[in-house]
């Protein structure tokens, strides 16, 4: 089945220790998103790739970076995690063509704990 896969599902890191979260998709979608979601809150968009075109949200901390080496994979790098970065990180994909944004397909998320 076509899907969005995130690894790992649970990640524990220490304060200040870099961490990388990964996302892969078999949907061949051209847009990939990274969201941060804290408990009982709505997802917050960090950045997205439209093909290879990287789009950073204005309020995304510099601590967060992303790579998309090919259509299928996208990585979220947190250079120096702080306690406030503990959250669920959600990867999503979409096929965007022309006007209007279709629905997003989400992965199961990675729960990040910072000790």
Partner 1 sequence: SQQGEEDPQALSIQEGENATMNCSYKTSINNLQWYRQNSGRGLVHLILIRSNEREKHSGRLRVTLDTSKKSSSLLITASRAADTASYFCATDQAGNNRKLIWGLGTSLAVNP
Q: What is the binding site for partner 1 (CB under 8 A)?
A: 4, 6, 31, 33, 40-43, 45, 48, 50, 55, 88, 90, 92, 94, 96, 99-109, 111
**Placement of tokens 């306690």 in the chain:** 83
Q: How buried is 93 (Cβ within 10 angstroms: 0-12 exposed, 13-18 middle, 19+ buried)?
A: buried
The helix, strand and coil proportions of the chain, stated in percent and rounded to the nearest 5, come to 5, 50, 45
Select 83 or 101, whichever has its Cβ closest to partner 1: 101
Least separation in angstroms between CB 16 and partner 1 = 26
Least separation in angstroms between CB 50 and partner 1 = 6
Least separation in angstroms between CB 25 and partner 1 = 13
């Amino acid at each position: 089945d076509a899907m969005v896969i995130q690894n790992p599902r649970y990640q524990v890191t220490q304060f200040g220790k870099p961490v990388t979260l990964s996302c892969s998709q078999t949907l061949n979608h051209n847009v990939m998103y990274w969201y941060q979601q804290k408990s009982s809150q709505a997802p917050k968009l960090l950045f997205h790739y439209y093909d290879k075109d990287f789009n950073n949200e204005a309020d995304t901390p510099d601590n967060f970076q992303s790579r998309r080496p090919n259509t299928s994979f996208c990585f979220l790098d947190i250079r120096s995690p702080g306690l406030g970065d503990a959250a669920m990180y959600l990867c999503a994909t979409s096929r965007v063509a022309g006007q209007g944004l279709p629905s997003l397909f989400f992965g199961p998320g990675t729960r990040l704990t910072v000790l």
